[in-house]
Chain A
Amino acid sequence: MNAAFTHKPAPDRPPPRISVGAVGWMRDNLFSSWMNTALTIVAVYILITLIPPFVQWALLDANWGGRDRSICDANKDGACWTFIKVRFLQIMFGLYYGANPDQVWRPVLAFALLIALAIPLFVESFPYKRYVSIGLLVVFPFVGYGLIHGQWFGLPVAETSQWGGFMLTFVLASVGIVCALPIGILLALGRRSNMPLVRTLSVSYIEFWRGTPLITILFMASVMLPLFFPAEVDFDKVARAMIGIALFQSAYTAEAIRGGLQAMPRGQFEGADAMGLKYWQSMRLIILPQALKISIPGIVNSFIELFKDTSLVAIIGLLDLLNMAQTASRSIEWKGYDIEAYLFAALLFWICCYGMSRYSQALERKLDTGHKH
C-alpha cells in the first residue's frame, strides 16, 4: 500500500576482480603462499625443459614422407616417423602379414568381428547377452583362428611362428584372460571351501604362481613344458607361451574373484542354503552372478597387468609388439631409429592400458552402491 517505505536492497556488488575468473583461480591454485609460488616456478621450469623440445623433435621437425631412410638421415633433428609408416603393418600384424599386405584383411576382419560381438555385452539394455557370449567364447575362437592362421576356407597359411606385433600381444592377452577365468573361479571357490584339502591345494596353487616372476614361468613353459609330456606330444612356441600365461593369470584372477566373494554379505549364502539349493546351484544362481559383478574392476586391473606383461614373451623369442618394433629398428634399413620404435610401441600400450584403467575406475564408481561405508 505504502510503496514509499518498501525496502529495496541495492544490487550486490560484483566480487573483487582479483578473486574471480582466471586471476582468482591462479591466486587460489598457483600462488596461494610462498611455498606454492615456488612450486609453480619449479613446475613451469620442468614443463619448459621437457615439452617444447619434445614437441619440436616429435612433431615440428619430424620426418613423415618418403619410403626409405634417406629423408631421415638428411634431417637428424626430428623423429623419423617414416620408419614407423613403412613398417606399420609389420609392427601391427607381424612378419607374415607385414610381408603379405594383401592378406591383412584377415586379422582386421577377425578384430572387427570381435568388436562387433563384444560391444552388445557392454550395452545395458541388450537382451540377447547370453547368445552373444556363447558366440564370443565358443564360436569366435575358431573363426578367429581360422581367419588369422588360414588353411581352412582355402586361405594361405600364416604359421604361428610368423605371427607377431600388436596382433600377437592382443591374442596372447585375450586367450590368457579367457582361459584363466574358469580356472580362477574354481580356485577362488576352492580357497573358500569347507574341505581342508581343497582349500590347501587351492592356496598352494595360487601362491605358487603368484610368488614367481612371469619370466621364470615363460622360461619354464618354453624349456620344461616339452619335458612334461611324452616325447610325441609337441607344442609350438606360441601355444607354450599361452599355457604359461593362462596358468599364471588364473592365480591372479582367482584372487580378484576371491575379493568379490569376500565382499558378499553372509545373508546371501545363508539365504541360498535356506532355499534348499545345492552347492553348485547356489553358486551358479545366487553367489557367482553377484560376486563376479563386484570383482569385474579387479579382473580388469589384473588384465591390464597381464596386457603389459605379455611383452615378456619377447625374452623367449616371440615377436610381440615390443619385440617386433625392436627387431624392425635393428634391421639394416632402419638401424639407429630405436627411440621411434620404442615410443610407438609405448604409445600403443599406453592407449590400451590407460583406456582400460579409466574404464575400470568408472565401473568401480558405478558398482559402488554405497553399502561399504
Chain B
Amino acid sequence: MAEHHTKIPWHRNPKVRSIFFQVALLAATVWVAATILGNTVENLEERGIRTGLGFMGGAAPFNVGFSPFIEYKLGESTYTDVFIIGVLNTMLVSVLGIVAATVLGFFIGVLRLSPNWLMAKIASAYIEIFRNVPLLLQIMFWNFAVFLPILPAPRQSWGLGATAFLNNRGLYLPSPIVESAAGVWLMVAAIAATIVGIIILRRWAHRRQNRTGQPFPVLRVALAAVVVVPVLAYFAGGQPFTLDFPFLDTFNFEGGMRIPTPLFALWFALTTYTASFIAEAVRGGILSVSHGQTEAAYALGLNRKRTLDLVIIPQAMRVIIPPTISQYLNLTKNSSLAVAIAYEELVNLWAGIALNQTGQALIIIAMTIAVYETLSLGTSAFLNWYNARRQLVER
C-alpha cells in the first residue's frame, strides 16, 4: 500500500487557521473601537467640548433636592458630589426595594402554594398581573395616577400621632439627632458584638446538635438579643441621640426627614414588580424539593415545622437564591427608571441633568455604565462562587 499520509498544507492546519482568525478578529475589533473613539473625540471638539475629567471639580449650577447622606449646597458642591449623591440615591432605593421585595415575594410565593384554593388563585393573579405589565408603566401609574392625586396637601396631611405625616410632598418621619458621638459608637459596637455573638451561638448550637441531638432555639434567642441589646446600649450610652419630629410650619413641614413622593412611588412599584418574580422563584424552589423528602422526614419522626426548617427550606433555598439575586440586580438596574418621575438617582441626576449641563457625554455615560457594570460583575462573581460552593453539596 502506498503511504496515504501527506503533510497537511499550512493553510489547512487548524492551529494556523485559528491563530490567523483570532489575529484578524483582534485587528478588526481594535480598528472599530479606535474609529468610534476617534470620531467621538473629533465630534465633541467640533462642538467645543474638550473631553476630560476637568469638569468634575467645578461647582454644579443646579440644585439637588433629595440628598439624605451628604449635604448639598448650590454653588459650592461640585459635579463629583452630584455623582456621589446619584450613586448613593440609587443604592438607597435599591436596598429599600430589595428588602421589601424579598419579604413580599416570599410571602406571595408561599401563598401561591397554599392549600387554600382562593388564596392560591389570588397570589397567582397577583403574579400574572404585575409581571406582565411594563415596569415603567407601573411606576408612572403609581406616581402620576395614584399617589400624587390621592395624597393631600401639606396642611391636610395624614398623620400618625405627631410622629409621621404623609402628604403629596412625601412622607415625613422623625430623624435622629446625635447628642454624643461616643455613645453612638458604643451602640454601633454593641450591635456589631450582638451579630458576632449570634453567629458564634449558631455554630455552637449546630455542633451541639450534631453531637447530642439536642436542638437549641437559636432564632428566638437571636430575636430577643436583637431587640434588647440596642435598647440597653441606648440607655448605657447615656441616650446618645434624640429624635427630631417633623412639625407643620405655615405652608410646609420643618424638621424630621422627608421621603419624597417619587422615591415612595418608585420604591412601591419596584417592590410590587420584583416581588412577582421572586414569588415565582420561591415557588419553583419549594416545588423542586421532591415529595419523598417530606415523607422521609415524617418517617423519621420530625413534625411538620421541623420538616420545613431542617429538610425542605435548606434544599429549596439552593434553588431559590440564585434567581432571587439576579432579581436584586434587575431591581437595581430598574431603579434607573426613576428618570421618568424625577427621583434624583444616578441616571436622572448624572446621565440626565449633569450631561445636559456639561455636554461631557463620553465621560458621563462611561461613568454611569461603569457603576452598573461593577454592580453586575460583583453580583455574578458572587453567584458563581455560591453555585460552585453549593454544587459540592449536591450528590
Q: Which A residues lie at the B interface, using CB under 8 A?
A: 29-30, 32, 36, 39-40, 42-44, 46-47, 194-198, 201, 207-208, 210-213, 215-216, 219-220, 223-224, 226-231, 304, 308-309, 311-312, 314-315, 322, 326, 338-339, 342, 345-346, 349-350, 353-354, 357
Contact = CB atoms under 8 A, between A and B. Distances in A.
A211 B372 contact: yes
Interface in B105-141: 114-119, 122, 128-129, 132-138, 140-141
Contact of B141 (A30, A194, A342): A342
A317 to B, nearest CB: 12
A361 B240 CA distance: 57
B29 A40 contact: no
A229 B26 CA distance: 21
Interface stretch (B56-64, B158-166, B373-381): B373-381
20 contacts: A29-B115, A32-B115, A39-B116, A197-B25, A197-B26, A207-B373, A211-B372, A211-B377, A212-B333, A212-B372, A213-B333, A215-B339, A223-B355, A227-B361, A227-B362, A312-B337, A314-B136, A315-B136, A326-B144, A345-B137
A311 B137 contact: yes
Contacts of B372: 211-213, 216
Contacts of B339: 215, 315
A227 B366 CA distance: 14
Contacts of A44: 118
Contact of B136 (A42, A219, A304, A312): A312
A224 B361 contact: yes
Given A195-B18, A227-B361, A342-B145, A213 B347 contact: yes
Across chains A and B, which 8 residue pairs bring their CB atoms closest together, nearest first? A211-B376, A29-B117, A353-B132, A213-B333, A43-B118, A308-B134, A311-B134, A197-B22
A43 B122 contact: yes
Contacts of A353: 132-133
A218 to B, nearest CB: 10
Contacts of A211: 369, 372-373, 375-377
B309 interface: no
A212 B133 contact: no
Interface string B369-395: 100110111001000000000000000
B119 A212 contact: no
Given A194-B18, A350-B129, A39 B119 contact: yes
Nearest to A229: B39
Contact of A216 (B129, B347, B380): B347
Given A36-B115, A210-B376, A215 B336 contact: yes
B40 interface: yes
Contacts of B122: 43, 46-47
Interface residues of B, number: 53
Contacts of A46: 122
B118 A30 contact: yes
Given A231-B46, A350-B133, A224 B365 contact: yes
Given A47-B122, A216-B347, A346-B141, A40 B116 contact: yes
A123 B375 CA distance: 44
Chain B at the A interface: mostly helix, strand, loop or mixed? helix
A216 B39 contact: no
B140 A228 contact: no
A213 B29 contact: no
Nearest to A338: B145
Contacts of B376: 207, 210-212
A207 B384 CA distance: 14
A227 B43 contact: yes
B340 interface: yes
A349 B128 CA distance: 12
B368 interface: yes
A208 B39 CA distance: 21
Contacts of B21: 195, 198
Contacts of A228: 36, 39-40
Among B39, B129, B134, B144, chain A packs the most CB atoms within 10 A around the CB of B134
A182 to B, nearest CB: 17
A194 B17 CA distance: 12
B117 A30 contact: yes
B116 A230 contact: no
A224 B40 contact: yes
Contacts of A32: 115
A40 B128 CA distance: 21
A326 B140 CA distance: 9
Contacts of B129: 350
Contacts of B36: 228
A39 B380 CA distance: 39
Quick one: which of A39, A46, A47, A349 has the most chain B CB within 10 A? Answer: A39
Given A40-B118, A215-B339, 16 more contacts: A30-B116, A36-B115, A198-B22, A211-B372, A211-B375, A213-B334, A213-B336, A215-B347, A220-B369, A227-B40, A312-B337, A314-B136, A326-B144, A342-B141, A342-B145, A353-B133
A311 B361 contact: no
Contacts of A314: 136, 340
Nearest to B44: A227
B351 interface: yes
Given A224-B365, A345-B137, A39 B347 contact: no
A238 B118 CA distance: 46
B123 to A, nearest CB: 10
B18 A219 contact: no
A365 B362 CA distance: 47
B137 A342 contact: yes
Given A30-B116, A228-B40, A315-B340, A346 B133 contact: yes
A119 B132 CA distance: 24
Interface in B320-379: 333-334, 336-337, 339-340, 347, 351-352, 355, 361-362, 365, 368-369, 372-373, 375-377
A320 to B, nearest CB: 10
A122 B22 CA distance: 40
Interface string B165-202: 00000000000000000000000000000000000000
B227 to A, nearest CB: 27
Nearest to A25: B117
B22 A195 contact: yes
Contacts of B141: 339, 342, 346
Given A46-B122, A212-B372, A228-B40, A349 B336 contact: no
Nearest to B333: A213
Given A44-B118, A211-B377, A223 B361 contact: yes
